[in-house]
Structure 1
Amino acid sequence: MSVTTKTKSISLPGRNTYIVALVSVMYLLLSWFLIGYKQEQLVLVGLFNTLYFASGDTRRLILGFSIFIVYWIIFDYMKAFPNYQYHTVDIEGIYYFEKDIFGIKLGNTTLTPNEYLKFFASPFLDILSGIFYLTWVPVPLIFAVFLFFKKRLYFFYFSLTFLLVNLIGFVIYYLHPAAPPWYIQSYGYDFNPHTPGNTAGLSRFDSLLGMPVFKSIYAKSSNVFAAMPSLHSSYPVIVLYYGLKSKLKYVNVLFAIIMGGIWFAAVYSSHHYVVDVLAGILCAISGIILFRYLLKTRVLSRFIESLMKATA
């Protein structure tokens, strides 16, 4: 008498199992060669493989979010190719350009908005700007998760637009390296390629909380001479645009508030000039328009169709 038992198993997509393993190893080796070993690399590989092999649902999720992983890897690899090696860093020019366009008179002195706002720094504004600045990662990701489960097609529109806007910004970083406001405040006009990341005005947020929140973030900065455009200012524009497209009603009011808060925090904390913020907004708008144009091409439409099928 024989007894047969039926067990549920996770069906893996054949050769793709080996492809995932090979890509994981190649990523770790390339990362070690370009920028050296970092714990985050193992965490990324471990997370991807865990979700890929855990179940069909988690596999579809991580495959969809691979677009964001591609963005993170490109951003991380920028450390291996500092933009200041390719073009002269704009330090003094952008500072005086900001003064000419948005300078604020204070007595006989003209100040940039960053310098002017330092006179009005307060614990309330420090906490508020810190909270807003912390949202630039979780808000787009949470919104992306919502779109993935509720509006899958819009998820791919959003994530690919996000990637495209970043690529546009990265190109500008290399064509026109620019120092942030805090650089002049700390180092003057002299160029120092070994300048570490700086929390600038956000250090007050860390002090008030008694935790190195932003210090831990900016210690891993890929390049301090990448202030123009402010991609922090680009992301909420993309979120709000697709929030409006998704007809999220009152949620879009929250998105708009967060967007304005990030723009203010960028200037208030001396991480960006107003012109950086405007460039970031323009970068987002350009990326959205370009993506809508590319969406009419057969190549992109078929690529999105294949992504939809892979995550169906």
Structure 2
Amino acid sequence: MWPILELRWPTLPANTPKPIRAFFDHVRWWHLPLAYIFQKAFRVIETPPWYLRLAIAVALTIGCYLPHIKHFLRPTIPIFAWLFGFYACQFIDAEHRTSHIFVNVLPTMERILYGANLSELLARNPNAVKDVLAWIPYGVLHYSIPFAVSAIIFWFGPPMALPTFARAFGWMNIMGVITQFFFPTAPPWYEATYGSEPATYSIPGSPGGLARIDLLFGTKTYTATFGASPMVFGAFPSLHSGCATIQALFLCWLRPRFAPLFLLYVMWIWWSTMYLTHHYMIDLVGGSIYALVAFGWAMRYAPKIDRDFPTRWHYLGIDRLTWRNFLNSFEMSKGWLERQDEVVGRGVRKGGLLGLWLDVDVAHFLPTNTRGEDGELVGQVYIEPKPDANILPMYQFQHKGDESKGLMMDVDLGDQEVDDVDASLSYVLPSSSSSSSLSGASTSGPVTASSATSLSASASDRK
């Protein structure tokens, strides 16, 4: 889980009832906007009826706790929030939306930045061959590629790679839809049809160049689909571009040697959206910026890739893949994540929260915070900052000689109380390479030191 999403709630008193403590252990602040989106969407949506919406909500809730299913469902909650929120937009009355729809902003900026309306230029002289070439990425691959990319990341990436992708993908789309809702902008097909006339929310969506695909195949699929679009004026940012970009970035992270191929797919999407008059160039750049931000955020806390391990199963030491091993791999991944110190809970990692370097004087254990692929809590060492301490730690763990990890160490506490865990801490003095250690320190009280620049902590649990 990403530390910026794992900021701690205020410390609870020691006598806090277990149900309340369990609630705060499991709930993170980023759950709150997701919960708001879900409850707002289920209240606003008119179709399907309430009892079906309730059944969907119950199914999602139960699925998050079912064995095996929860491993896939929990990381996709931001994606479900995006889909439900996007679908609910069509049921929001105009008086609750932004009153002004920006018709001329995008084409004006397009001409200022690029010297011409690139979408208009590319859409000239259409023919059946170009129509099909544009339809394949825009109308087919855009909706199917995410599943293929997810399968590739799961199979060939290290544990936690797929949840990292799912959360980044979901949050990027959530932020994109929020931008589209509060900053409604007209797409190129509107300018081609209505010119600079003021737009209203009563204007139906248009398939743009995809109408020619309907004529080519003798269907009304895209005419009906885009005519009932929940977000007619959602040109900026282009989520077609955002989705393609973030998928390409994760695939480049996983298999960099195929980067030109992934980049080619992004360019293909870009061309098709402009040729079909659904987006301006500035929309595409905006969508890719959203993707870059989400990807950069995710990469700070993504699991480390080992090029010697071609698949997920090699990371987990599984030589022969069976159905049982496949299901057990989720539990096995927790141990791998703990050993690699790749998953951290609340606190700081890889440079610290907001990159701050803080003095540290207290080290103690928290019985929660670290999360596996399904979001299950495990536990970790937490290093408390103390501004007046004569210690300037780097918030780093040494890993494999020259790699560094955050100032956290994952510990599987099982059903134990925090006082049952023994700790061993070593401090490296700032003026020399010598070190002193404090071993067997019980977590019933804090362990302190007066001088250090780098601190490492390890713990063993008694199961």
Name the TM-score, length of structure 1 as normaliser: 0.74
Q: Distance in 1 between matches of 2:370 and 2:144?
A: 24
Structure 1 pair 228/150, CA: closer, same or farther in 2 (3 Å)? same
Structure 1 pair 163/62, CA: closer, same or farther in 2 (3 Å)? closer
Question: Rg bigger for which structure?
Answer: 2
Which residue in the other structure is 2:80 paired with?
69
Judge conservation of contact 1:229–1:277 (CA < 8 Å) in 2.
yes
Q: How does 1:158-307 map to 2 (within 5 A)?
A: 158-189=165-196, 190-247=198-255, 249-250=257-258, 252-292=259-299, 298-299=345-346, 305-307=371-373
Which residue in the other structure is 1:91 paired with?
103
Judge conservation of contact 2:76–2:167 (CA < 8 Å) in 1.
no
Which residue in the other structure is 1:109 paired with?
none
Q: Hey, which of these two has a bigger chunk of helix by percent?
A: 1
Deviates more, 1:124-133 or 1:277-286: 277-286
Which residue in the other structure is 1:16 paired with?
none
* CA deviation map 1:184-206 (0-9, x unaligned): 21122222211112101111122
> Can you give the 5+ residue segments of structure 1 that lack an aligned partner in the other structure?
1-26, 105-111
Structure 1 pair 221/271, CA: closer, same or farther in 2 (3 Å)? same
Deviates more, 1:190-199 or 1:216-225: 216-225
CA shift, 1:229, in A, is: 0.9
2:249 maps to amino acid: Y
Provide the alpha-carbon RMSD of the alignment. Answer: 3.8
> Can you give the 5+ residue segments of structure 2 that lack an aligned partner in the other structure?
1-36, 303-342, 350-367, 377-463
* CA deviation map 1:61-85 (0-9, x unaligned): 3444444222211222233266982
Q: Distance in 1 between matches of 2:254 and 2:39?
A: 40
Q: How does 1:36-185 map to 2 (within 5 A)?
A: 36-38=46-48, 42=52, 45=56, 52=63, 56-58=67-69, 60-79=71-90, 80=92, 85-86=97-98, 88-104=100-116, 112-133=117-138, 134-151=140-157, 152-185=159-192
Equivalent pairs counted in the alignment come to 279
Q: Hey, which of these two has a bigger chunk of strand by percent?
A: 2
Q: Distance in 1 between matches of 2:222 and 2:293?
A: 29
Tell me, what secondary structure is at the counterpart of 1:135? helix
* CA deviation map 1:159-192 (0-9, x unaligned): 1111221233233224422110111211222222
Name the TM-score, length of structure 2 as normaliser: 0.52
Q: Distance in 2 between matches of 1:58 and 1:101?
A: 48
Q: Distance in 1 between matches of 2:202 and 2:192?
A: 16
Q: Distance in 2 between matches of 1:244 and 1:167?
A: 23
CA shift, 1:123, in A, is: 0.7
Structure 1 pair 92/162, CA: closer, same or farther in 2 (3 Å)? same
Asked which structure has the greater RCO (Cα within 8 Å, sep 6+), the reply is: 1
